[in-house]
Amino acid sequence: MKKKTEARKKLNIAMVCDPIDYTAGSVVSTWRFAERLSAKGHKVIFIGAKTPQASGDVNGIKTYRFRSVLVPKTEGKFYLALPTIEEAKKVLKKEHIDIVHIIIPFGANFSFVKAAKLLGIKVVMHSHTQAENVFLHVPKILGRDELSALFTDYLAWMYKSADALVYPTEFAREKSPKMDASMKYEVITNGVDISFFKPENSESFFKKYNLSHKNKHILFVGRLHPEKSITTLIKAVPEILKKQPNAIVLIVGDGHQKEELQALVKKMRLQEKILFLGRIAGEDLVIAYNACDIFCLPSLAELEGMVVLEAMACGAPILIADAPNSASKFFVDKNGLLFKPEDVHDCAQKAISLLADEKKLKALGQQSLKNSKNFDIDRSASRLEDLYYSVLGKR
């Protein structure tokens, strides 16, 4: 006789995420996981910052917001919440929280971890950041290495207070501070929604941005910040144009480096060859990935690289910097090429070799599509759910 499977209790989950409104991979991942966990019947709440731009719920998820401070060089959008321990306890008790999930160990995490411990609530922490994300732009002479070491020590101190850790990649686990062997952890990709990011007709994108099918399009998507090394791609364009005169670079995203990058493009007289399209989201972003011939990520620091997964799921060949602090290089698997980080010549030559062979480009795109199936976000959400139950001691 078959044993009856016991139904697992639905959980009340508090996701502490600063900045909850900011478009960054870690935050977008939080939105997507919360959406799927809610669809599974769990109650999810967000903890974040009250800002001049936002004070309500996020994406239909109940959001508690607290007084905050603005972080410099974040386009006036990255705020860190500063709740007290008593305020955190009040929220956790009111919502009958079973699990506190710290997304990035900044701001509100102090109060909510302390409150959770006082109330006997389990804590899961995500490894979404590394020192290079924060200090890569700081000159060595101003103490970049020392700041990085201090930040790594801080992460180790915070992670020790967790009941379990989540790493988006094995690379992230290796890069993160070393934990005691008894620490429970899972490597769970942030994943990609392959039912949403998929091959689509891109004609509307060409019309909207007045693009021509006669051109070859190289796409970058991401924050316009120094660690993304967008200058490498920009400076590679003159060499690319010598062999591929119809090449166009499309830069999608926003950030404090925008004016600096635009000034560089103007100085190089490449305004007609390098287009800044601003922030694009939703279906328009899907179509942008579909419109490109190559997706390029010259980034120097990534613990995964969700934009690469999105591009792959849309069937784009990829060109990725082989940077020591980037996990994105591991996505290159018979679906594109790697180039030496910050090497303008190598970036240009690899782009030229890809654009020169239409048949090869198509095959690489098909391989990207195939590879993306291994990163289905629904599987990731189920694994995260299982980790929660494991931490709680439930089957």
**pLDDT at residue number 52:** 81
pLDDT tens column, 155-167: 888 889 999 999 9
The answer to whether residues 266 and 180 belong to one domain is no
Residue 84 pLDDT greater than 80, yes or no? yes
The answer to whether residues 385 and 371 belong to one domain is no
Q: Which amino acid is at 205?
A: F
C-alpha 324, offset from chain centre: 18
| 3 state SS of 294 | strand
The answer to whether residues 369 and 381 belong to one domain is no
The answer to whether residues 218 and 172 belong to one domain is no
Q: Is residue 279 part of a domain?
A: yes
CATH code, 216: 3.40.50.2000
For residues 99 and 119, the answer to whether their CB atoms sit within 8 Å is no
Distance of alpha carbon 267 from alpha carbon 308, whole angstroms? 29
**pLDDT at residue number 252:** 97
133: confidence class by pLDDT, cuts 50, 70, 90: low
Number of other CB atoms surrounding residue 259 within 10 Å: 10
**pLDDT at residue number 308:** 97
Please compute the mean of the pLDDT values over residues 131-142 and round it to a whole number. Answer: 66
Give the ranges where the chain is alpha helix by DSSP (H): 25-39, 85-94, 109-119, 131-135, 144-159, 170-175, 203-208, 230-243, 258-267, 282-291, 306-313, 344-355, 358-372, 377-392
Give the domain extent around 136. 12-191+376-392
pLDDT tens column, 311-324: 999 999 999 999 99
Q: What global pTM score does this model have?
A: 0.89
Number of other CB atoms surrounding residue 42 within 10 Å: 18
pLDDT tens column, 338-393: 999 999 999 999 999 999 999 999 999 999 999 999 999 999 999 999 999 999 99
Segment among 134-143, 277-286, 333-342 with least mean pLDDT: 134-143
**pLDDT at residue number 4:** 45
3: confidence class by pLDDT, cuts 50, 70, 90: very low
The answer to whether residues 122 and 32 belong to one domain is yes
Sign of CA dihedral 82, 86, 92, 98: positive
